[in-house]
Amino acid sequence: MASSMLWASRAASYLRISVFHRGFSTVLKDLKYADSHEWVKVEGNSATIGITDHAQDHLGDVVYVELPEVGAAVKQGESFGAVESVKATSDVNSPVSGKVVEVNEELSGSPAKVNSSPYDNGWIIKVEMKDAGELKNLMDSEEYSKFCEEEDSKH
Amino acid sequence: LVTTASRPSSRRCTCSRPPLPSHAPAPGRRFLARRPSFRHFPACHHILSITAAACCTDSCSLPTLLQVKYDLYGVRSCVINALAYLAQGKENPNWNSGSDSKMLIPQTKNIGLPLMNLMRFKGLPILQQLHIEEQLLRTSSENWCIVNDGTNDPTIVMGVSGKPAELLEIESVLDDQVPVIRRFTGGGTVIVDHGTVFVTFICNKEAVPNLQPYPRPIMSWSSSLYSKVFQGIGDFHLRENDYVFGNHKFGGNAQSITKNRWIHHTSFLWDFNVQNMSYLKHPKRAPAYRSARSHLDFICRMKDYMPRSTFMDKTVEATETQFSLRPIQLEAIRTCSEAEFCPSSRFLTNEELEAAAVALQS
């Protein structure tokens, strides 16, 4: 499957046509989502953060992840790092405010985990949350699915 | 609309009422040479004069058909100017410009287009260009187009994740003291000099209708803009994120995307020094269409296809089909200070390059 998709992508490039995206993206229940396409998994006061399947699909192959320092402060809606894909760096924004307690060092050697496993091995940072009340500003899985459909249908 | 107190105009009239300024064309011309400013143009006067004259039984007040037509042109011009003012926040300067009637048409076309500031440079150092771009991306809320016609000294510019040991012939770079920059955008490595022309677009995500702020849609949008520039020339197209004539690359692209804005910048090889290419290694991540060709077999010169000034002028013209361009001087934008924004693009030090060379050998 992966090799046929790679062939299709290269054929599209040769024929100079744009590669279509999948008509759907995986969205997991029990996660919360930001409108900038990051997800957060909350366990007590700890939040694990990454980018969604929708985001990784639209960004393309991730070749580099810029990680913050452990101990850095993050703020809801603001950039804490970036991913590089194709020819672009794209900001990754934090869905919650708090302090970075762990970063996924494996992404330094294997940035493609963000594509292959965006909700699991492709997690980017873990944060000690400052204010759990901020979670109400985020979308649940149903709202986020609808948000992605609306966004894709507008373009 | 701004109107002045209206007095009925007298046209070929022998009564004592003084005539008002007429917006009739100059003798021998059919149309107004310049569109009058809506602030100085009593639109309502013309509407009222037509209406009042229609009711007047005095034959000297009856407008001629020609005068009615000029009045209608005047009202139309007034409305257009007012709309342009509302859209752009400034008065159409053509009233005082002394320009000819051709200026009427471009202003009409620009109504409703988003505003974009245009900055043009010649020989601006590439690090300074990158600093300006990053500052505008992160701190401005306006759209920008930057054109830099060449840069001063030959400089190597790597993408944000570039590894010198993999991308550069470090010993030659150190021996010849070629400056190396790591820029804030993604993408590959280039060596730029006075033969390179740079074009940059910095936009809010809503600036281009129906454009999703992701790498491939932005790349596709940019290639459609340059398709207008290179129409009918050299089999131009976008090939795996590069601008090519046929299968020879002449333009490299890079982007950075934030939550609400994006930048897309391109370095165009209008000309290049063959010797400079020897500082660059064949990259590990190369497009498939390169087919393992050496630098010199892979790239081509834009000068073989189009004059330099023609390219820059056509690029501005193509941009004007989507944006209303406003020329801005560098002094008009705030300079960076420590208390404000600090850009991340920087020179790599000799120590960093030497350490990379040592790590490669070990």
List all residues 6 or more positions away from B84 whose beta carbon is below 8 Å from its beta carbon. B92, B107, B110, B111
Pick A155's closest partner by Cβ from B212, B219, B239: B212
Give B-chain residues touching A77 at CB under 8 angstroms.
Answer: 259
Band of pLDDT at residue B345, cut at 50, 70 and 90: very high
- Find the DSSP H helices in B123-275: 126-139, 164-167, 170-175, 215-229
Question: Which pLDDT belongs to residue B80?
Answer: 57
Express each pLDDT in A57-114 by its tens digit.
Answer: 999 999 999 999 999 999 999 999 999 997 999 999 999 999 999 999 999 999 999 9
Residue carrying structure tokens 């810029």: A66
- The verdict on B200 touching A (C-beta cutoff 8 Å) is no
Asked whether the predicted pLDDT for residue B42 surpasses 70, the reply is no
Asked whether the predicted pLDDT for residue B2 surpasses 80, the reply is no
Give A-chain residues touching B237 at CB under 8 angstroms.
Answer: 16
- The verdict on B218 touching A (C-beta cutoff 8 Å) is yes
Task: Report how many Cβ contacts below 8 Å link chain A to chain B.
Answer: 86
**Between residues B20 and B251, the one the model is more confident about:** B251
Nearest to A84 by CA among B256, B309, B202: B256
Band of pLDDT at residue B334, cut at 50, 70 and 90: low
Question: Which pLDDT belongs to residue B76?
Answer: 60
Distance of residue A79 Cα from the nearest chain B Cα, in angstroms: 8
Asked whether the predicted pLDDT for residue A1 surpasses 60, the reply is no
Report the percent of chain B where pLDDT is more than 90: 57
Band of pLDDT at residue B82, cut at 50, 70 and 90: low
Which segment of B47-56, B161-170, B323-332 scores lowest on mean pLDDT?
B47-56
Residue B43 is given by DSSP the state: H
CA distance readout (Å), B138 to B259, B262, B342: 10, 9, 10
Asked whether the predicted pLDDT for residue B245 surpasses 60, the reply is yes
Give B-chain residues touching A89 at CB under 8 angstroms.
Answer: 160, 184-186, 255-257
Across the interface, do A59 and B288 touch by the CB < 8 Å criterion? Answer: no
Express each pLDDT in B283-300 by its tens digit.
Answer: 888 888 988 888 888 999
Across the interface, do A154 and B289 touch by the CB < 8 Å criterion? Answer: no
Across the interface, do A90 and B289 touch by the CB < 8 Å criterion? Answer: no
**Between residues B26 and A132, the one the model is more confident about:** A132
Across the interface, do B288 and A85 touch by the CB < 8 Å criterion? Answer: no
Asked whether the predicted pLDDT for residue B309 surpasses 50, the reply is yes
Question: Which pLDDT belongs to residue B127?
Answer: 97
Express each pLDDT in A8-44 by its tens digit.
Answer: 555 554 554 444 455 567 899 999 999 999 999 999 9
Asked whether the predicted pLDDT for residue B45 surpasses 70, the reply is no
Across the interface, do A89 and B185 touch by the CB < 8 Å criterion? Answer: yes
Among chain B residues, CA nearest to A6: B288
Question: Which pLDDT belongs to residue A86?
Answer: 78
Question: Which pLDDT belongs to residue A3?
Answer: 52
Band of pLDDT at residue B356, cut at 50, 70 and 90: very high
- The verdict on B291 touching A (C-beta cutoff 8 Å) is no
From first CA to last CA, the distance across chain A in angstroms is 27
Band of pLDDT at residue B75, cut at 50, 70 and 90: low
Across the interface, do A155 and B255 touch by the CB < 8 Å criterion? Answer: no
Give B-chain residues touching A87 at CB under 8 angstroms.
Answer: 159, 185-188, 215, 219, 241, 253-255
**DSSP assignment of B234-260:** TTEEEETTEEEETTEEEEEEEEEE-SS
Report the percent of chain B where pLDDT is more than 70: 68
- In chain B, the domains with their CATH numbers are 115-361 (3.30.930.10)
Pick A86's closest partner by Cβ from B211, B241, B289: B241
Distance of residue A28 Cα from the nearest chain B Cα, in angstroms: 22
- The verdict on A153 touching B (C-beta cutoff 8 Å) is no
Asked whether the predicted pLDDT for residue B323 surpasses 90, the reply is yes
Across the interface, do A14 and B289 touch by the CB < 8 Å criterion? Answer: yes
**Between residues B142 and A86, the one the model is more confident about:** B142
Mean pLDDT, chain B, as a whole number? 79
Question: Which pLDDT belongs to residue B50?
Answer: 46
- The verdict on B293 touching A (C-beta cutoff 8 Å) is no
Give B-chain residues touching A150 at CB under 8 angstroms.
Answer: none
Express each pLDDT in B254-272 by its tens digit.
Answer: 999 999 999 999 999 999 9
Distance of residue B210 Cα from the nearest chain A Cα, in angstroms: 5
Across the interface, do B259 and A77 touch by the CB < 8 Å criterion? Answer: yes
Give the tokens for residue B23.
């917006």
Which segment of B67-81, B157-171, B224-238, B317-331 scores lowest on mean pLDDT?
B67-81
Give the tokens for residue B57.
């039984």
- Helices and strands of chain A, counted as H and E runs: 5, 9
Among chain A residues, CA nearest to B223: A16
Question: Can you tell me the mean pLDDT for A131-153?
Answer: 94
Q: Which amino acid is at A27?
A: V
Across the interface, do A87 and B256 touch by the CB < 8 Å criterion? Answer: no
Nearest to B205 by CA among B260, B256, B141: B260
Band of pLDDT at residue B85, cut at 50, 70 and 90: low
- In chain A, the domains with their CATH numbers are 32-153 (2.40.50.100)
Question: Can you tell me the mean pLDDT for B324-353?
Answer: 83
Question: Which pLDDT belongs to residue B332?
Answer: 80
Distance of residue B233 Cα from the nearest chain A Cα, in angstroms: 17
Give A-chain residues touching B253 at CB under 8 angstroms.
Answer: 87
Nearest to B272 by CA among B155, B353, B166, B99: B155
Question: Can you tell me the mean pLDDT for B74-91?
Answer: 54
- The verdict on A99 touching B (C-beta cutoff 8 Å) is no
Asked whether the predicted pLDDT for residue B104 surpasses 50, the reply is no
User: In whole angstroms, what is the distance from residue B33 CA to residue B40 CA?
Assistant: 16
